[in-house]
Structure 1
């Protein structure tokens, strides 16, 4: 299981990553990565980068009735 330091180091090496990619790279369950990222965000160590919905046809995604399945979210160090 990964530590907060391992998560920070991975973000430092890669620049920015999605939570799913962090989970796979660190061999840690996604809920644990989400909790760690939330805590680090509260501490001011990482920031959430959300993709602008300008390229998304809201409501037109087949996999999500709200049209938000195609929006990506990355994490990066501050």
Structure 2
């Protein structure tokens, strides 16, 4: 399991990463990674950056029945 320091170092090395990429790189379950990233956000150490919906005008395309599955979310250091 990764520590907050390892997550910080990985974000510093790559600039911004998705939670799933961090999870795979640090061999940590995605749910745990999301919880740790949320904690870092609460501490003011990381911030969440969401992609603007550009290709899906209505938000209800065939690939994303939820309306938000096509939106990517990255994490980066503050």
Q: Same fold (TM over 0.5)?
A: yes
1:64, distance to aligned residue in structure 2 (A): 2.8
Q: How many residue pairs are counted as aligned between the two chains? A: 77
Residue 39 of structure 2 is aligned to residue 39 of structure 1: yes
CA distance in 1, matches of 2:75, 2:56: 20
Q: What is the TM-score of this pair, normalised by structure 1?
A: 0.92
Give the ranges of 4+ consecutive aligned residues of structure 1 lying more than 6 Å apart after TM superposition. Answer: none
Q: Cα RMSD (Å) of the superposition? A: 1.1
Provide, for residues 22-69 of structure 1, a one-character-per-residue CA deviation record: whole Å limited to 9, x for no partner.
Answer: 000000000110000000000000000000013223111x24323211
| Aligned 8 A contact 1:56 1:71 in 2 | no
Give runs of aligned pairs for residues 6-25 of structure 1, distance below 5 A: 6-25=6-25
Gaps of 5+ in 1: none
CA distance in 2, matches of 1:63, 1:53: 13
Structure 2 residue matching 1:36: 3-state secondary structure: helix
